[in-house]
Each structure stands twice: as C-alpha cells, then as structure tokens.
C-alpha cells in the first residue's frame, strides 16, 4: 500500500514536537559501548530496568564490550537480571561483544564499516532485529538511519492513518523521506516520538494537550463523538 504522506507533513510534525518538548538529548550513555549494551538491554522492558542493569554492570566493571567478551555468561546473567529476559540478553551481549572484539579489536574499528555493511552484520546476529540494529547504527555508530519502534507505529497510525502492521522498512523510508537528512535530526525526531508516546499517545491516548492534536485523525474523531 502506498501512503500519500507528504514530506511537509512529516517535517511539520517534527517541528511541532520540537516546540513542545525542546531538544531531547537521547540516547543515554557515557560511551558508545554503553549505548550498544543499552540497546540490547532495553528490548522488551522499560528504561528504568535497563538503568538498574547498567548500574550493576558498572559496579562489577563489566560495562564495556571487551569486559563482556571476557566475562562468563553466568556472570553477565547475574548482573543484568533487572532488565528481564536476562538469559537471552546475556547471550546477545556475549555474542556481539565477542564478535566485535575478536574480529575487529574494538567497537570503533567495527563502526568504520559503511552503514549497510554494519547493518548486515548486526542483523546476522541472533536476537538483534531491525529496531535494535538501527538504534546501534544511529546512536552509537552515528550512521544516518531512522529508528522505527512501537511508538512510531502507534503515532503514525493515529495521526495519519497508517496501518499499524506496516512493514518496518516501509515505515522507516516514509520517516526518512519526510525528515531532514541529518543524523542529529534523526536522533532528536526519534526521541520526540518516544516522549510523545510516553506522555500522550499511550495505549489509552491522552489527546488533551497533545502537540499533534490538531493534525491527528484519532483526536479529530474523538472530538467528533462528543
């Protein structure tokens, strides 16, 4: 299905969010290693739980890919229990850290690859899907790619009527066509969407006070039933 969403609609949507929320300094992390680790830990859990796991990794001096590659799987599991699904996540952390260190020597050398090659390598790793891979590419590797998450689907469905089951790549390309082709904008736009999803566009939407209320199909339909 082809969606007729103009670039102006997407760019105006970003501008309205930016006016409401200001610039969002996201993704949290003091190093690229931490961003990669956080991108995996945040799968299927809240950021609050990720922070608990990250603090424990830091306390145990394991908050880096080299340290994780040298740690036992049970050590990693014990450190990240707060993140949920800790056995699966420990295996993913061990896998990516071992791969990067053994093949490239450092995360920086891994990131020297082009965006598409990096994406291909990340997606080949068990447990790393498109959203996680793209979060690593954008926020840690500073490669220009838009991250699509559940908030993006929900908001674009409600505001512009896009099928919430739209394919990841199709929605990513829609967002990239509309947003300014700039890494800083991609990062901030994604962060704005996450903030809107937390504040207003929840599973049960709070349309009152939403920055996108005047352009949202759902909000207009709700208003029309009153």
Question: What pLDDT does residue 4 have?
Answer: 57
At residue 2, the pLDDT reads 46
Rounded to the nearest integer, the mean pLDDT of the chain is: 93
pLDDT for 28 equals: 78
Quickly list H helices, 112-207: 115-123, 130-135, 150-160, 168-178, 183-199
Instruction: Record the tokens describing residue 6, joined without a space.
Output: 């103009």
Cα(77)–Cα(81) distance, integer angstroms: 6
74-121 pLDDT per residue, tens:
999 999 999 999 999 999 999 999 999 999 999 999 999 999 999 999
Judged against a pLDDT cut of 50, whether residue 65 lies above it is answered with: yes
Rounded CA separation 90/79 (Å): 9
Q: State pLDDT tens for residues 179-215.
A: 999 999 999 999 999 999 999 999 999 999 999 999 9
What is the per-residue pLDDT for 131? 97
Question: Mean pLDDT, to the nearest integer, of 4-15?
Answer: 79
User: Domain 7-24+147-224 is of which CATH architecture?
Assistant: Orthogonal Bundle (1.10)
| Secondary structure of 68-89 as H, E, C letters | HHCCCHHHHHHHCHHHCCHHHH
For 174, residues 6+ apart whose C-beta sits below 8 A from its C-beta are 3, 5, 10, 156, 162
Q: What is the mean pLDDT of residues 48-62?
A: 97
Domain ranges of the chain: 7-24+147-224, 32-140
What six digits make up the tokens of 189? 């736009």
Q: What confidence score (pLDDT) does residue 25 get?
A: 80
Radius of gyration of the chain (CA): 19
For range 119-124, the mean pLDDT: 98
Q: Give this prediction's pTM.
A: 0.93
Q: Encoding tokens for residue 40? A: 């995996």
Spatial separation of the C-alpha atoms in residues 104 and 115, rounded to whole Å: 16
Q: What does the pLDDT look like over 130-187, one tens digit per residue?
A: 999 999 999 999 999 999 999 999 999 999 999 989 999 999 999 999 999 999 999 9
Classified by CATH at the fold level, domain 32-140 comes out as Endonuclease III; domain 1 (1.10.340)
């Amino acid at each position: 299905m082809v969606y007729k969403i103009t670039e102006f609609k997407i760019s105006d949507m970003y501008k309205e969010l930016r006016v409401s929320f200001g610039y969002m300094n996201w993704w949290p992390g003091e190093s690229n290693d931490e961003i990669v680790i956080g991108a995996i830990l945040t799968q299927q859990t809240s950021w609050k739980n990720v922070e608990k796991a990250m603090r424990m990794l830091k306390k145990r001096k394991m908050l880096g890919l080299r340290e994780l590659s040298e740690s036992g799987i049970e050590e990693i599991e014990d450190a990240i229990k707060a993140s949920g699904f800790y056995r699966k996540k420990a295996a993913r952390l061990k896998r990516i850290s071992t791969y990067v260190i053994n093949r490239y020597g450092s995360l920086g050398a891994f990131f020297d690859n082009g965006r598409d090659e990096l994406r291909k390598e990340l997606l080949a790793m068990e447990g790393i899907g498109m959203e996680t891979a793209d979060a690593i590419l954008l926020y840690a590797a500073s490669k220009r790619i838009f991250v699509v998450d559940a908030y993006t689907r929900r908001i674009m469905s409600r505001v512009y009527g896009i099928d919430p089951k739209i394919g990841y790549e199709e929605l990513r390309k829609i967002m990239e066509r509309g947003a300014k082709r700039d890494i800083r904008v991609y990062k901030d736009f994604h962060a704005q969407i996450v903030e809107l999803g937390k504040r207003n566009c929840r599973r049960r939407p709070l349309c009152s006070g939403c920055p996108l209320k005047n352009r949202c199909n759902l909000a207009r339909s709700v208003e029309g039933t009153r």
